Structure 1
Amino acid sequence: MYLLLLFKIIFVNAITVKSMSDDYVINNKRFPVDFMFGVATSAYQIEGAWDEDGKGVSIWDHFTHTNSSVIKDKSNGDISCDSYHKIKDDVALLKNLGVNHYRFSIAWTRIIPNGFRGDVNQKGIEYYKTLIKELKDNNIEPLVTLYHWDLPQFLQDLGGFFSDSLSVWFAEYARVCFEAFGEDIKYWVTFNEPKSICNNGYGNGRSAPGIYNPGIGEYICIHNLIKAHAAAYHVYDKEFRDKYHGKVTLVHSVSYCQAKTNSSEDIEAAERNILFNLGWLADPIHFGDYPEVMKNRIAMRSKAEGFIKSRLPEFTEEEKALNRHTSDYFAINSYNSYFGYAIDEPPIVLPPSIDNDTAVGVTFEKAGDGSFGMGKLLLWIKDRYDNPDMIITENGLMTETETLEDDDRISVVRNCLSRFRDVMDEVKLLGYTLWSVMDNFEWTRGYTAKYGIYHVDFNDPNRTRTEKKSGAWYKELIKTRCLTDECVE
């Protein structure tokens, strides 16, 4: 079986390397009439109103207020796009685009300011009810993320994602949201980009809450996060599914890694890279446990480093059973693709690192705009996870200019969508979500990074939104469902 799979990978890789030398042609097949086109944002990045109407302090409020030097332009999200006060204006933008769905996140601190169920903030509930009603009144499907990086600071002070109590805290918060909004929500996300939460927040310390614990903190954080996701999933499954019939998952962030050459060593290295990235989260919520290659390599290196046991925590058999099959659809954030190649075993040094545990070299050489792996990523997911329903929950391009003539964004998004369309006869891709509808606070880059198809004037107290060229292009794409001047059905 392994030899057959290896042959298949070699064969596909050979075809891919050849095709990369040719000029790629944009797919001219029309997207199906029921294909969902949407846009995305997150609460901390757009809402502002950081301390209004009973909202509590989040880790990003605390992080930016106490150490602004970690943000490129020393800014914060206190006001940002001021979307808290602009529900009708922002939904009007979405209506103008013609989107089928809008992905947004709920701020935990607006719903439960200190993180515990006993302190539910009704004004926070009403804010999101108003937003959801406005969306539904305009025939826009809400796709709701429960956690997009903004943990209540009160819970961080109790250990945050290092705490064994995380699953209890998160399940209680999720239950409040399911009770309040479940009637109107078809698609739920528990956590957005767990790797970003844990690698940057609890590993390298570059993001909130700023904990530096490489090669250890990330694994503990992800371990507790998976259990918290499973707990929330089972709350929905047992208490709300029969009534509301929604779907629950978490969002994976991954860049497809293609073997740099057709050598078996490079092919195995590229596969290992994907397993250490996507498989790290997806295997537990589909199969119950981490990929074997992760367990074996981290245990081996931990022993050599002098640790008493593996730095990768172990799930109990009961936890594996609870983790398994806790994904109703496969949600993917992907912005790029790269090449992987075999390297020598990294030296045993401290502190440990995920890169050394993975032991794969990567390069963006010949990668172009990075769209080349988008279709291959969906095929990889199909093969490993039994052909699930999929939604692209983020994709787009970051720039650092204020221009409205953002042809580069149009080019990248078109190429990515084309690669997705190439494989839609083979995979069950339900929809695509562009990040983002508007420029916003982009975490440690502050307001220097631009992802929006609407420009926001952050020097204007009114935070005026102006459509970019990409906004007009995306609107036309949604209308015609066609990436070229002429399409075939």
Structure 2
Amino acid sequence: MATAPSATTSTSPAVYDCNPESASFPEQFAWGAATAAYQIEGGWDADGKGLNVWDTFTHQGGDRVFKNHTGVDYYDKVIDGLLANRVTPVVTLYHFDLPQHLEDQGGWRSGAIVETFDAYAQFCFRTFGDRVKLWLTINEPYVVAALGYEKGIMAPGVTEPGTGAYLAAHNMIKAHAAAWHSYDKLFREKQGGLVSIALNSDWAEPSDPNSPADQEAAKRHMAFCLDWFAAPIFLDGDYPAIMKSKISAVSKRQNCPSSRLPEFTSEERMMIKSTADFFSINYYTTRKIKHQDNTSCQPSFFSDQEAVQVMDPSWPVASGSSWLAVVPWGLRKLLKYIKDTYNHPVIYITENGFSQSDPAPLGDTQRWEYFRQTLQEILKAIYIDDVHLKGYFVWSLLDNFEWISGYSSRFGLFFVDFEDPALPRIPYKSATEYAKVIANNGLIKSD
């Protein structure tokens, strides 16, 4: 149900005080729902598929790689099936499932992965680009770097405090840029598609709005989260200045021989900047941020920020995820931040969701209220803040394997009975209500 974004910038919507309960979304607004291969496919050892880092991390199975024709045939059928049902596919090349043999060679910490990823991207562009016109290179590089190579609580489970996250991020940014240039030079003229990267970010509010220290800490949180990747790719090819100065100062105090943040060469900066055709953002929650001095002698990505996250106890929390505070207005602020910081880009919200704990009620009233309020805030962003938002995709289409939460955290629009070998699917209330929004291209005013 998603429609392709335009390659050209259309006239921005008029700025007026809309009624968010009844206003329509712009014409050709893209509606959708997202999934990820590892989280829904199964078949971890089927059809000659190789192990990936999540297979190893969980001691069970997951996603395909293109080692044989079976994997290609599978995705040919998926893409053709979507198009036959008038669904425009938006394809992500990498969603957390790095082949294990590449991780054994250093994974995202190895500079060699840039060329490997580029070759993989070119294969996908060449094989599927006649039908796929919207590409995302890497999903949530912040999560891969900070949780996979710093904290080690996500695959591949590496704990290299103060260095692993920065090195992994450095190579992901270069890999994304290489893939974008390959598409631009080799495929864009004939295929006419668009390429970006799926970034994720909370919104950051100062814990004490009257505290200059907390205000600066909130800015640092945004710099170390969203801007870490967005600034090089959308602006000047380099990391945010506050990241560079802060990490350099802390590294010097900790007697490191140089800053723990890698540097891009001048050639790399030129290669990286302006390598996205639209802005893709995943949003779930907001945090209040409080300044905290870093006096530790131990390197740490999180301590480098001198900012600590606080959840406001007055915010509701999703029943299936203790970290997911329900703050729909944070998304509006985040969208405006992206508009103001990154030169008013075309934006797609490629993930936004609310989890229920298991067993999950089919009448998911709390989740639908989350979506309803979120869509109201999106309308305000479009019509009041003049944000050039062209699409919104729910996470997720159906209940799935939610990483370290397993099957206990249910984000789906469709309930899946994992106890039944047939895996029957039943729509939640949120699915039927979301379908009404799509059919109406807007919220229907409640009785």
Q: TM-score, normalised by structure 1?
A: 0.82
Contact 1:54 1:110 in 2 (8 A): no
Q: Please tell me the residue identity of whatever aligns with 2:356.
A: T
Give the % identical residues. Answer: 41
1:436 aligns with 2:396: yes
> What residue in structure 2 maps to residue 240 of structure 1?
187
Q: State the superposition RMSD in angstroms.
A: 1.5
> What residue in structure 1 maps to residue 335 of structure 2?
378
TM alignment of 1:34-73, pairs within 5 A: 34-65=28-59
String of CA shifts for 1:378-402, please: whole Å, max 9, x gaps. Answer: 1111111100100000001012132
> What residue in structure 1 maps to residue 278 of structure 2?
329
The 3-state SS of whatever aligns with 1:44 is: helix
Shift of 1:326: 0.5
Instruction: Give the Cα separation in 1 of the matches to 2:193 and 2:255.
Output: 47
Instruction: Give the Cα separation in 2 of the matches to 1:201 and 1:190.
Output: 18
> What residue in structure 2 maps to residue 292 of structure 1?
241
Aligned match for 2:231, one of 271, 277, 283: 283
Q: Please tell me the residue identity of whatever aligns with 1:238.
A: K
Q: Please tell me the residue identity of whatever aligns with 1:214.
A: P
The 3-state SS of whatever aligns with 1:231 is: helix
TM alignment of 1:64-103, pairs within 5 A: 64-65=58-59, 76-77=60-61
The 3-state SS of whatever aligns with 1:184 is: coil
The 3-state SS of whatever aligns with 1:378 is: helix
Q: Identify which range, 476-485 or 417-426, moves more after superposition.
A: 476-485
Greater share of residues in helix: 1
Instruction: Give the Cα separation in 2 of the matches to 1:483 and 1:290.
Output: 39
Instruction: Give the Cα separation in 2 of the matches to 1:40 and 1:154.
Output: 27
> What residue in structure 1 maps to residue 375 of structure 2?
417
Instruction: Give the Cα separation in 2 of the matches to 1:358 and 1:214.
Output: 13
Count of residues in Structure 1 that have an aligned counterpart in Structure 2 = 414
TM alignment of 1:216-255, pairs within 5 A: 216-255=163-202
String of CA shifts for 1:108-156, please: whole Å, max 9, x gaps. Answer: x431x3xxxxxxx221111111111111111110000000011111111
Shift of 1:26: 4.9
Shift of 1:209: 1.0
Contact 1:338 1:367 in 2 (8 A): no
Give unpaired runs (5+ residues) of structure 1: 1-24, 66-75, 79-106, 114-120
The 3-state SS of whatever aligns with 1:146 is: strand
> What residue in structure 2 maps to residue 29 of structure 1?
23
> What residue in structure 2 maps to residue 182 of structure 1?
129
> What residue in structure 1 maps to residue 294 of structure 2?
346
TM alignment of 1:74-223, pairs within 5 A: 76-77=60-61, 109-111=64-66, 113=67, 121-223=68-170
Instruction: Give the Cα separation in 1 of the matches to 2:294 and 2:263.
Output: 24
Q: Please tell me the residue identity of whatever aligns with 1:411.
A: E
> What residue in structure 2 maps to residue 69 of structure 1?
none
Instruction: Give the Cα separation in 1 of the matches to 2:444 and 2:291.
Output: 39
Contact 2:20 2:379 in 1 (8 A): no
Instruction: Give the Cα separation in 2 of the matches to 1:326 and 1:187.
Output: 14
The 3-state SS of whatever aligns with 1:50 is: coil
Instruction: Give the Cα separation in 1 of the matches to 2:69 and 2:220.
Output: 47
Contact 1:285 1:323 in 2 (8 A): yes
String of CA shifts for 1:57-92, please: whole Å, max 9, x gaps. Answer: 111112211xxxxxxxxxx445xxxxxxxxxxxxxx
> What residue in structure 2 maps to residue 397 of structure 1?
354
Instruction: Give the Cα separation in 2 of the matches to 1:432 and 1:143.
Output: 12
Instruction: Give the Cα separation in 2 of the matches to 1:383 and 1:452.
Output: 32
> What residue in structure 2 maps to residue 272 of structure 1?
220
Shift of 1:367: 4.0
Instruction: Give the Cα separation in 2 of the matches to 1:264 and 1:367.
Output: 24
Contact 2:174 2:272 in 1 (8 A): yes
Instruction: Give the Cα separation in 2 of the matches to 1:433 and 1:423.
Output: 16
Shift of 1:272: 1.6
Q: Describe the shift of the 1:155–1:361 C-alpha distance in structure 2 as closer, same or farther (beyond 3 A).
A: closer
Aligned match for 2:424, one of 453, 464, 467: 464
